[in-house]
Amino acid sequence: MEQAFKNSAALLREKLGSIEKLEPDKLLSPREARAKAATIETFYRNYFKGELQRFINEQLLFMGTQTKNASQFLFGRGTINGFLLIKDWFKKQIALAQSKPSKKLKTKPEAPFALGE
């Protein structure tokens, strides 16, 4: 059922003009980003994952049993979209926390343009 909502959420994001994904913080060094992601992973796995899923389940139950019209149902879908965006962001942070540092060759950066040409 979650996969159906994931596909449905992507379509809803497109129709309502929602953002598709949350981008990582580009101001952090790779090492800082992995350290931050490891902290986020611990918080997500130990606490937030269960709570977030509970929010999604409660919203689904409400949508299926208590909405009075299409507007309420669509608003509920938007709420689930927000929950799924947060869930996707946490999953990306976990993947980053579990990734190995890349071993890039240290090279001299190229000048963006040459003077006098």
pLDDT tens-place string over residues 61-74: 999 999 999 999 99
Domain ranges of the chain: 2-98
Residue closest to 83 by CA, chosen among 51, 37, 38: 51
- CA 15 from centre of chain: 19
pLDDT in tens, 45-63: 999 999 999 999 999 999 9
Residue found by looking up tokens 């019209």 in the block: 69
Measured CA to CA, the distance from residue 96 to residue 24 in angstroms comes to: 10
Give the CA radius of gyration of the chain: 20
Chain centroid to Cα 108, Å, comes to 34
DSSP letter string, 6-54 = HHHHHHHHHHHT--S-PPP-TTS-HHHHHHHHHHHHHHIIIIIHHHHHH
Task: Give the pLDDT of residue 113.
Answer: 46
pLDDT-based confidence at 26, cuts 50/70/90? confident
Going by pLDDT thresholds of 50, 70 and 90, the confidence category of residue 6 is: low
**DSSP secondary structure code for residue 74 in this structure:** H
Q: Give this prediction's pTM.
A: 0.64
- Report yes or no: 41 and 94 within 8 Å, Cβ to Cβ: yes
Q: Which residue has the higher pLDDT, 27 or 17?
A: 27
